[in-house]
Amino acid sequence: MSLPIHGGDLAAAERRWGKPEHNWLDLSTGLNPWPYALPHLPAESWRRLPGEAEETALRASAAGAYGCAVDQVLAGPGSSALIQAVARSVSPRRVAVVSPTYGEHVAAWKAAGHAVSEVAIPADAAGADVVVLVNPNNPDGRQFTVAEIQALSERFALVVVDEAFADVAPDLSVASHVGAGHVGSGLMVLRSFGKFYGLAGLRLGFCLAAPELLAAVAAQLGPWPVSGPALAIGAAALSDRVWADASRAHLANAAGRLDAVLTKAGLHGLGGTSLFRLVEHPDAGNLYDRLGRAGILVRAFALRPTWLRFGLPGGEAPLRRLEQALT
């Protein structure tokens, strides 16, 4: 199999397989296919630079949603940008990234001049100054308990926890522990907005940490890192707990239905979250291409050629289309 296409790159998919007859069914990104409905935006949010009041409103909504203090919240233009800003905000260290996981972590810390190693489990990070892990992990959904992460924050100078998919598993989050005395003082949490709320194009994410840690990250982002429309939409969505609770239940049900289709097709489940499923198949490369020719883009992995990751189809018709292509 030639190198897989990065998630969401439909232009590259069309160059590879041609334009599909029935439009693309993009299952490669792990986004909520039922996005948050955009609220009405005042015209001023487009016409002028964001102000302190709008920034404070977003931080307050995020603090309420994640369970931390307002001064422990920094908003940025997407979690990928924050991953890079965090790596640049720390003086050169020995960094252990719990892998396999989202590849931007290793890339960002290396680019910032750190000595980076990849470890299979946190226990293998002995000698590191910084430990980076994703919880629940992408792409296999591996989970770490709050107690496990608290123990790591006592052993290492800095523990960075990427909770990009934690909205669907809030009991795993350590966001409420950032800055809590000795345990948590070196704890930093990254949150993605676009995945759970289905609005990846908004480019909004959060870094949660003690204020003194956030100051160094903020210096890497510069002024006005988040647009006025993103501030307003984020503040409204993060305050809507009714929508969030209903979405968690809806996504869990949809993930169960996807599991049934994948199992029926002979794909062995390896894990995931209720926003994506990771499966294994000995002929995954040919299956990836067959789905691509059918106009269905899934996530393949160059270093794990038997793995495929499926996001959720957004309704009954897309699910049946996937089922037909698999069989």
Q: What is the distance between the terminal CA atoms of the chain, rounded to a whole angstrom?
A: 21
Q: What is the pLDDT of residues 256-290, one digit of tens each?
A: 999 999 999 999 999 999 999 999 999 999 999 99
Q: What is the pLDDT of residues 184-240, one digit of tens each?
A: 469 999 999 999 999 999 999 999 999 999 999 999 999 999 999 999 999 999 999
The angle that helices 228-238 and 52-66 make with each other, rounded to 10 degrees, is 30
Length in residues, the chain: 327
Whether the pLDDT of residue 122 is over 60: the answer is yes
- DSSP one-letter code for 306: T
- Helix (H) or strand (E) run with residue 271 in it: strand 268-273
Please choose, from the candidates 279, 306, 300, 307, the residue with its C-alpha nearest in 3D space to the C-alpha of residue 4: 300
Helical H segments across the chain, by residue range: 10-17, 44-47, 52-66, 79-89, 104-111, 146-155, 194-197, 211-221, 228-238, 241-264, 284-293, 316-326
Residue of higher predicted confidence among 45 and 183: 45
Residue 265: how many other CB atoms lie within 10 Å: 15
Residue 300, classed as helix, strand or coil, is strand
